[in-house]
Amino acid sequence: MDTFLTIASASEGIYKDRGSKFLAFAYPVGSEDEVKEKVNLLRKKYFDASHHCYAYRLGINGERYRANDDGEPTNTAGKPILGQLTAFNVTNTLVVVVRYFGGTLLGAGGLVQAYKQASAAALTNAEIVTDVVTETYQLSFAYSAMNKVLKIVKEMKLECFGQDFNTDCTVNIKVRITRAEEMKKRLETVETLNILSS
């Protein structure tokens, strides 16, 4: 399989319980650096909040994941957020829940429920889309081979970007990982062609 579910763009949700407000933010992310960046931006924007709890899943099967309670009792925040990412079957997705304490303790069960509901609201409001795992290659070839190369690119419906057609030509392409071998075999027939992984 070379497809996975993720969210198309940022979305929000909110949950309130006994004066406490839980603001949930869901983001599509591609790396742990992006996760840190989003969490830090929310920490700055909502600097007066009690907690900034989050969870994320990365990778085609969500194999890289983390849950952070940010000072809430162990497993009452990050784990329920991660549970919703798993329940919605999305990956390359981050959910951050910003909590404003309302003065009344909710207890462990109340916290789990609040973080779960806030996360579910943000993910329900998100557009869930199917994404494809691709690999990027740079093709370099002589000008005389351009027609052959572009014919194969067109027939395989490969995404092209960064083209340069001079005496020596280069084209950057994206290909679904499940079709990479087929692409290489077809392009091997073209003289003067070099395929480089990007």
pLDDT tens string 136-151: 999 999 999 999 999 9
What mean pLDDT is predicted for residues 160-188? 91
Helix, strand, coil percent values for the chain (each to nearest 5):
35, 40, 30
Task: Report how far apart, in Å, the C-alpha atoms of 104 and of each of 7, 16, 17, 33, 124 are.
Answer: 34, 12, 9, 35, 27
**Range scoring the smallest mean pLDDT among 43-47, 58-62, 74-78, 111-115:** 58-62
Of the candidates 22, 8, 35, the one whose C-alpha atom is nearest the C-alpha of residue 90 is 8
Is 90 exceeded by the pLDDT of residue 8?
A: yes
Whether the per-residue pLDDT at 174 is higher than 90: the answer is: yes
* Residue 45: per-residue pLDDT: 98
The answer to whether 79 and 72 have CB atoms below 8 angstroms apart is no
- Give the dihedral sign, CA 33/159/184/150: negative
161-167: long-range pairs with CB below 8 Å, 24+: 167/142, 167/143
Residue 123 clears pLDDT 70, i.e. is over it? yes
Q: Which amino acid is at 114?
A: A
Closest CA to 135 of 66, 48, 198, 68: 198
What pLDDT is stored for residue 198 in this prediction?
Answer: 66
More confident residue, 134 or 47: 47
Shortest CA distance to 84 belongs to which of 46, 125, 135? 125
* Mean pLDDT rounded to a whole number for the chain: 94
Report residue 71's pLDDT band, with 50, 70 and 90 as the boundaries: very high
Alpha-carbon span 172 to 49, nearest angstrom? 45
What is the pLDDT at residue 197? 78
Instruction: Domains for the chain: give ranges and CATH numbers.
Output: 3-131 (3.30.230.30), 133-197 (3.30.70.120)
pLDDT band at 167 (very low <50, low <70, confident <90, very high): confident
Q: pLDDT category, 152, cuts 50, 70, 90?
A: very high
pLDDT at 94: 98
Rg of the Cα atoms in the chain: 23
3-state secondary structure of 127: coil
Mean pLDDT of 27-46: 97
pLDDT at 192: 82
